Amino acid sequence: MKTRRLTMAQAVVEFLKHQYVERDGQEGRFIQGMFGIFGHGCVAGMGQALEEYGPDGMTYYQTRNEQAMVHIATAFAKQSNRLRTFACLTSIGPGATNMITGAAAATVNRIPVLLLPGDIFAKRMVAPVLQQLECPHSQDASVNDCFRPVSRYWDRIYRPEQIITALPEAMRVLTNPAETGAVTVALPQDVQAEAFDYPVEFFEKRIWGIPRVPPDEETLQRAVDWIRQSKRPLIIAGGGVIYSEASEALAGLCEATGIPSSETQAGKGALPFDHACNVGALGVTGTSAANPIARQADLVICVGTRLSDFTTASKTQFQNPDVRFIGLNVSSFDAVKHSALPLVADARVGLSKLTDALTQAGYGVPTDYKQQIAELREVWDREVDRLFNLNAKPVISQGEVIGIVNGFMTDNDTVICAAGGLPGDMHKLWRTRSPKGYHMEYGYSTMGYEIAGAVGIKMADPNRDVYVLVGDGSYLMMNHEIVTSVQERQKIIIVLLDNHGFACIRGLAASSGSHGFGNDFRYRSEAGTLDTDAFLPIDFAANAASLGANVIRATDRESLTAALAEAKAADKTTVITLDVARDEYVPGYESWWDVPVAEVSEMASVQQARADYEEKVKAMRYFL
């Protein structure tokens, strides 16, 4: 048997360089490079390996924060329909644990990322080493055990030859659309540097096929029968529609049958906003078209969605007593939710087979249902126009900013956002034109994802202009990846909305009977509270300029429009700052979210909020 004597770290790099995926006859390298920040727990192992073996296929990228690099990899993989990703390397200690939030976001959103944290010494005799967490109940534990619940696959390598079986398992999970998420392989720092005679076959090119799994024929026929019996069916298009490149298949089903399609955050853009069957966002952040239709639907066809509480309005969205669900999903775990008929299949194949069967059967929704869909769409379209043109004075509204940026962008551009009130308003209002025009991290609602994620999108598709919409609270959490965008010459355009605090939670607190406690960016008073009249004088433009960005200060509709044009023409990352109205909210549209309110309180506002809560919770349903 021919072998190559390499350190474990060198072997990891060589193995990852030769991993490919194939779908629909298209082949590409899966691990596109490695992000990292070196520390003592990886510099002499993985760091040395990347210097020696990385240049011909494993490019190393710097970031400023370990959480951010996972977000970059996640956004890159999402933009690539999960067919490509990055590996992320850290030292043991805070570098490793900084990645946990990113790992959770990737796993919650079903996006593949490979995490390679350094780990404590396998030989143990030098313990406790720098950054080691000592556990009195076990010597076989480190901070990397924290990754277990947020990883789809987890392993720790104690001997250099163990990667021969561990890395193929990691790749199996990463490339499986039903199982994918964060994969963590912890690498003890001493083992990284140990050598082994690896079989040369371990480093040969390996292609991981991603098949388009067809549905079971018997279950498919049952689903067709259910749809044919339905008078008011509704489709929920989730992220799986986009990842499986099933937009045309979805449009085909809708056009053949007249069934309306609603969209989750991850599924927004599955159909163009102006498609006759697209009734828009569903659920807590849903539209006045989708939510009434969902409330009356007798059949809900859930395609590539995990049915989060925002989509189901905390189990209050579907009120037809006879409603049934079909779960078309590549994952059986998601397909059975709401006691659905599980149609386990690739979304594109499943939708196409449904279309063929229903067309052959001559199925179409009733005429009066089509008329209602058209009328609700028209009313909603007027409502969006109204919110885009409020002419709020003296400060522009968040809805107006969304409308201006949305109208400025082209079909080949992408907008990104995450967490807070902005995503809710964008889910309702954004007029999405293409499957890759709208990128939202809302599964884990991760503040700080926006700028790092934009870098990942730009790296995945350098020909796109990428626009970031971010609030001041989220910007303060992770603005440093502006430096990475400048360093890598990955130009992004950031529109920073300053509302002097955590505006989303401020509004949520108010709806729960509070007064926005703890959410404004104000000076502490002599009495010890954060309720002085003066806001903190944060100069976001100066901050962005110090990180290497081009900066434009906008103040109103006209200056924002001019700023967008200037930013598009600029040759590097540009940050546009502007104040927005703090109390100008986009309305809710016949929906509710379960945020428990204090059961007892001496505050009258809380007592009223609790009474409202107890009334709303009565609409919650089990689906058995």
pLDDT digits 0-9 by tens, 544-573: 999 999 999 999 999 999 999 999 999 999
Check residue 420 and give its pLDDT.
86
pLDDT(129) > 90: no
| Strand locations in 202-246 (E) | 206-209, 233-237
Same domain, 257 and 353: yes
Domain count, the chain: 3
> pLDDT tens digits, residue range 43-61?
999 999 999 999 999 999 9
Say whether both 222 and 361 belong to one domain: yes
Query: Considering the chain, what percentage of its residues have pLDDT values greater than 70?
Result: 100
Residues 337 and 427 grouped into a single domain: no
What pLDDT score was predicted for residue 584?
A: 84
What mean pLDDT comes out for the span 590-594? 93
Indicate if the pLDDT at residue 321 is higher than 90.
yes
Per-residue model confidence as pLDDT tens digits over 192-243 = 999 999 999 999 999 999 999 999 999 999 999 999 999 999 999 999 999 9
> Does residue 329 lie within any of the structural domains?
yes
Q: Of 209, 242, 261, which marks where a domain is finished?
A: 209
For residues 611 and 365, what is the distance between their CA atoms, to the nearest angstrom? Answer: 40
Per the rule left: phi > 0, alpha: psi between -120 and 50, beta: everything else, 413 is beta
Residue 446's CATH number: 3.40.50.970
User: Are residues 376 and 397 both part of a single domain?
Assistant: no
Q: Is 347 exposed, middle or buried (0-12, 13-18, 19+ CB in 10 A)?
A: buried
The verdict on 364 and 410 lying in the same domain is no
Q: At what angle do helices 163-174 and 8-16 cross, to 10 degrees?
A: 30
Residue located via tokens 């192992």: 45
| Residues of the chain above pLDDT 90, percent | 91
Closest CA relative to residue 466, chosen from 416, 406, 404, 431: 416
User: Nearest 10 degrees: CA dihedral of 398, 402, 403, 409?
Assistant: 160
pLDDT value at 87 more than 90: yes
b/e per residue 298-317 (b: at least 16 CB within 10 A): bbbbbbbbbbbebbbbbbbb
What string of H, E and C letters represents the secondary structure of 384-428? HHHHHCCCCCCCCCHHHHHHHHHHHCCCCCEEEEECCHHHHHHHH
Whether 588 maps to a domain, the answer reads: no
Res. 180 pLDDT band, cuts 50 70 90: very high
Say if 271 falls within a structural domain. Answer: yes
Q: For residue 428, which of 289, 597, 609 has the smallest C-alpha distance?
A: 289
pLDDT per residue as tens digits for the range 345-364: 999 999 999 999 999 999 99
pLDDT (0 to 100) of residue 206:
98
Residue 21 in 3-state DSSP? strand
Q: Does residue 451 register a pLDDT over 90?
A: yes
168 with 292, same domain? Answer: no
Residue 408 has which token pair?
């400025």
Q: Does residue 258 sit in the same domain as residue 179?
A: no
**180 and 292 both lie in a single domain:** no
What is the distance between the alpha carbons of residues 232 and 368, in angstroms, rounded to a whole number?
Answer: 10
CA dist list (Å): 338 to 262, 285, 325, 351, 624 = 17, 20, 7, 20, 7
Q: What is the CA radius of gyration of the chain?
A: 25
Q: What is the four-CA torsion angle of 41, 45, 47, 50, rounded to 10 degrees?
A: -150
Q: What is the pLDDT of residue 376?
A: 98
166 pLDDT above the threshold of 90: yes
Q: Which range among 129-133, 153-157, 173-177, 537-541 shows the weakest confidence by mean pLDDT? A: 129-133
| Residue 45 sits in the same domain as residue 112 | yes
> Which has the minimum average pLDDT: 400-409, 504-513, 571-580?
504-513
The pLDDT tens digits of the residues spanning 136-148 come to 999 999 999 999 9
From 329, 356, 380, give the residue that closes a domain. 380
The answer to whether the beta carbons of residues 493 and 567 sit under 8 Å apart is yes
Find the largest Cα–Cα distance for the chain: 79
The pLDDT value recorded for residue 551 is 98
Note whether 43 and 130 are same-domain residues: yes
Residue 328 sits in a domain whose CATH number is 3.40.50.1220
| Mean pLDDT for the chain overall | 96
Residues contacting 546, CB < 8 A, separation 6+: none
Residue 518: the pLDDT is: 87
- What's the confidence (pLDDT) of residue 533? 85
> Is 614 part of a structural domain of the chain?
no
SS3 318: coil
User: Same domain for 346 and 435?
Assistant: no
Strand partners, 60: 34
- What is the mean pLDDT of the segment spanning 28-49? 96
Per-residue pLDDT, 610: 96
Q: Which of 50-54, 224-228, 292-296, 526-530 has the lowest mean pLDDT?
A: 526-530
Identify whether the C-beta of residue 525 lies closer than 8 Å to the C-beta of residue 600: no
What local confidence, expressed as pLDDT, does residue 144 receive?
97
Residue 435 within a domain: yes
Q: How far apart are CA 555 and CA 577, in angstroms?
A: 8
Q: Which residue has the tokens 């000076």?
A: 523
With CA atoms as reference, report the closest residue to 292 among 365, 234, 228: 234
- Indicate the residue type of 503: A
150-188: buried (b, 16+ CB within 10 Å) or exposed (e) per residue? Answer: bbbbbbbbeebbbbbebbeebbebbbbbbbbbbbbbbbb
Global model pTM greater than 0.75:
yes
- Say which residues have a Cβ less than 8 Å from residue 27's Cβ, sequence separation at least 6: 20, 21, 207
Which tens digit of pLDDT belongs to each residue from 393-450?
889 999 999 999 999 999 999 999 999 899 999 999 999 999 999 999 999 999 999 9
Residues 224, 205 share a domain:
no
Closest CA relative to residue 90, chosen from 45, 140, 126, 124? 45
Please say which residue of 324, 356, 380 terminates a domain.
380
Q: What is the pLDDT of residue 370?
A: 98
> Pseudo-torsion of CA 605, 608, 613, 615, nearest 10°?
-170
Q: Are the C-beta atoms of residues 452 and 35 closer than 8 Å to each other? A: no
Residue 125's domain spans which residues?
3-209
Q: Taking 90 as the threshold, does the pLDDT of residue 248 lie above it?
A: yes
- The pLDDT confidence band at residue 461, using thresholds 50, 70 and 90, is very high
Residue 224 lies in a domain: yes
Q: Which residues pair with 278 in a beta bridge?
A: 261
Q: How far apart are CA 478 and CA 597, in angstroms?
A: 31
* Residue 624 domain flag: no
C-alpha–C-alpha distance, residues 371 and 59, integer Å? 55
